[in-house]
Amino acid sequence: MKIIDFDTQLRLQSYLDGELDPAQAKEMAELLAKDSQAHLLLQELKATSVLLSGNEPALRVPESREFYWSKIARAIAHEMAPAPHERRRDPISWLGWLVPVSAAGLVVLMLSVGGQFGSGPHPRAGTSAEAPEIDSPLDDTSVMSFHSATEGMTVVWISSY
Amino acid sequence: MSKVPDKSTANDETLVADSQKGDLEAFEELVARHRDKIYARAFSLMRNEDDALDLSQEAWVKGWQRLSQFQGDSSFVTWMTRIVINLCLDELRKQKRHRLESIEQMEEEVGGVERQMPVVVVNPTENLERAEVRQKIDWALGQLSAAHRTALILHEFEELEYKQIAKVMGCSIGTVMSRLFYARRRMAALMTGQKREE
Amino acid sequence: MNYRIAVPILICLCWLEMVLESAGAQTGELRLKAQLIWATDDDKPKDKQLKEVDAELTNKLRRFYKWKNYWEVSCRETGPVTSNSQKHRLSPKCETELKKIDDSTVEVKLYGEGKLVKTIRQPIKLLLRGEFLVLGGDDKEKYDDAWFVVFSLAKP
């Protein structure tokens, strides 16, 4: 029995996958009409493709939601914690907060009648505005921290090298 | 304790928008919702539970860091899947560097044998429950090499075109076609219980 | 209803509530509880002085950390936290020092074997809300165990 050359086999696959241009697709359709081997090969490729697309193995994470998340949260906190040399307050960086905080205060003042200045908008839970400030005098430790409003916890993990 | 809205009823778009504003609870809900899919993709590529756990978690961390880049052109889970796929492929490349050249050569030769294999009738679902079919597919995927499995997964499960697969895998379209062809024929043989000729 | 009167009054009331809440945080006493906790997957140890941590805190710790069991090694009530530093010994190797930096911030220093390990500044309002401040690290003496120092509002 004549074996289809490899190039044609690959083009059959491309025909199945819709990767041929119209002229090439027409050529392949003509081949399929007269070559039973090509036709059978196409059927095999198609059946395999159909079988796979409907039956991808369904896997579940083999860890509890909390434990799986805890490692992610620690890594995020570690990425977010500034390096020790950056923790000293830079007076210029605070100027960036001055305009939005002042604008918010002004809007609030305009809206209220006979009221007093409050403490300003409450920061969103979980952002760095509620994360603790941390100093680490020891060089051989690193720290990861974050705040969870849902759990009502601020968590600081201290690692030793 | 302050009351925080229940995130479990929010849709993905809302959770993504909240996460982009720094809401870690919203991001945690996204992780809880989609962690199985991301883990499954990592496991399908790596075939190792520890690697899949590490890489899927790394993908979530990267997702958090790059949230501002998510524009909504695709669904959030599709975007996350791309991140985990790239991480897995990077890891596979690192692992590949440590493998012996002879194994690579053997795999290429094996690809040549498949060109001459007789066609099989693929009907492995006969007398099998769907769960058993999935188990068999999972087993068969594990018999493929990383390169062949990756091409198959990206095409059949991620529905990428050849040129997209070539870009992700860092190879030519011709290589993608060869790997995909080999993987499909090998899967057909494995699913029908045909032994590969050596 | 005349909305032109009602709306500003409502806004005023909301502001008053916020002001009073923050005023309470600024002038009220802050009394804390500090617990030294040992986390392990081992079964209950023979040391009878160890107590099981209460269910609420155990469940919270389990949400974040992998250990199965949490045992309270010691617990201290701090008395009112003031602008003067106060040290509290939780174990022969573990001490904390508390100080009110200003009306909205408390400074917590953690000492291990006499050496300052960490200084943390925590917003007081979080503690007044009933939230926990949890410091933790690996147990150097027992592989795969951990220690925690948990600060919370002391019950009156």
**Sign for the pseudo-dihedral over CA of B52, B55, B58, B60:** negative
pLDDT digits (tens, 9 = 90+) for B147-191: 999 999 999 999 999 999 999 998 889 999 999 999 999 999 888
SS3 assignment, position C85: coil
Q: Which of C16, C62, C133 minimises the CB distance to A66? A: C62
SS3 assignment, position A97: helix
Return the residue matching tokens 């530093």: C85
**Residue A81 pLDDT > 70, yes or no?**
no
Domain ranges of chain C: 31-153
Chain A contact set for B24 (CB, 8 A):
73, 76, 126-127, 146, 148
Chain A contact set for B134 (CB, 8 A):
55-58
CA A79 to CA B78: how far, in whole Å? 24
Q: What angle do CA A39, A40, A41 make, to 5 degrees?
A: 90
Q: How far is A15 from chain B (nearest CA, A)?
A: 12
CB C110 within 8 A of CB C122: no
First to last CA, chain C: 44
Domain ranges of chain B: 7-94, 100-191
User: DSSP readout, C7-73?
Assistant: HHHHHHHHHHHHHHHHHHHHHS--EEEEEEEEEESS---S-TT-EEPPHHHHHHHHHH---SEEEEE
Q: Token pair of A25, please?
A: 């697709």
Find the residue in A nearest to B38 (Cα). A61
Subunits next to C (3 or more Cβ pairs <8 Å) are A, B
pLDDT digits (tens, 9 = 90+) for B68-82: 899 888 999 999 999
Q: Which of C66, C126, C138 minimises the CB distance to A67? A: C66
Q: Token pair of A22, please?
A: 């119209």
CB B23 within 8 A of CB A146: no
B4 touches chain C (CB under 8 A): no
* Beta-carbon contacts of residue B154 (< 8 Å; ≥ 6 apart): B85, B160, B164, B165, B168, B169
Provide the H-helix boundaries in chain A: 6-16, 22-34, 36-54, 65-80, 91-111
Q: Find residue C31's DSSP bridge partners.
A: C80
Q: Which of C117, C119, C137 minimises the CB distance to A157? A: C137
SS3 assignment, position C80: strand
Q: Token pair of B172, please?
A: 């030519």
Q: Which of C18, C60, C65 minimises the CB distance to A119? A: C18
Q: What is the pTM of this model?
A: 0.54
First to last CA, chain A: 69
CB A129 within 8 A of CB B21: no
pLDDT digits (tens, 9 = 90+) for A19-73: 999 999 999 999 999 999 999 999 999 999 999 988 898 899 999 999 999 999 9
Chain C contact set for B1 (CB, 8 A):
129-131
A52 contacts B156? CB cut-off 8 A: yes
Task: Report chain A's mean pLDDT, rounded to a whole number.
Answer: 72
CB C82 within 8 A of CB C66: no
**Residue A92 pLDDT > 80, yes or no?**
no
- A:119-148 residues touching chain C, CB 8 A cutoff: 119, 130, 132-138, 141, 143, 147-148
CB B146 within 8 A of CB B179: no
Neighbours of C132 (CB within 10 A): 23
Rounded to a whole number of angstroms, the CA Rg of chain B reads 20
CB B143 within 8 A of CB B136: no
CB C113 within 8 A of CB C121: no
Q: How far is C131 from chain B (nearest CA, A)?
A: 7
Return the residue matching tokens 């009221």: A115
The architecture that CATH gives domain B7-94 is Orthogonal Bundle (1.10)
Chain B contact set for C131 (CB, 8 A):
1
Q: How far is C127 from chain B (nearest CA, A)?
A: 9
pLDDT tens for chain C, 156 residues: list them.
555 666 655 555 555 555 444 444 444 688 999 999 998 887 777 766 788 899 989 988 887 777 888 999 999 998 899 999 999 999 888 899 999 988 888 999 998 888 888 888 898 988 988 999 999 887 766 666 788 999 999 887
Residue type (1 letter), C119? T
Fold category of B100-191 in CATH: Arc Repressor Mutant, subunit A (1.10.10)
pLDDT digits (tens, 9 = 90+) for B111-156: 455 555 566 666 655 566 788 888 889 999 998 889 999 999 999 9
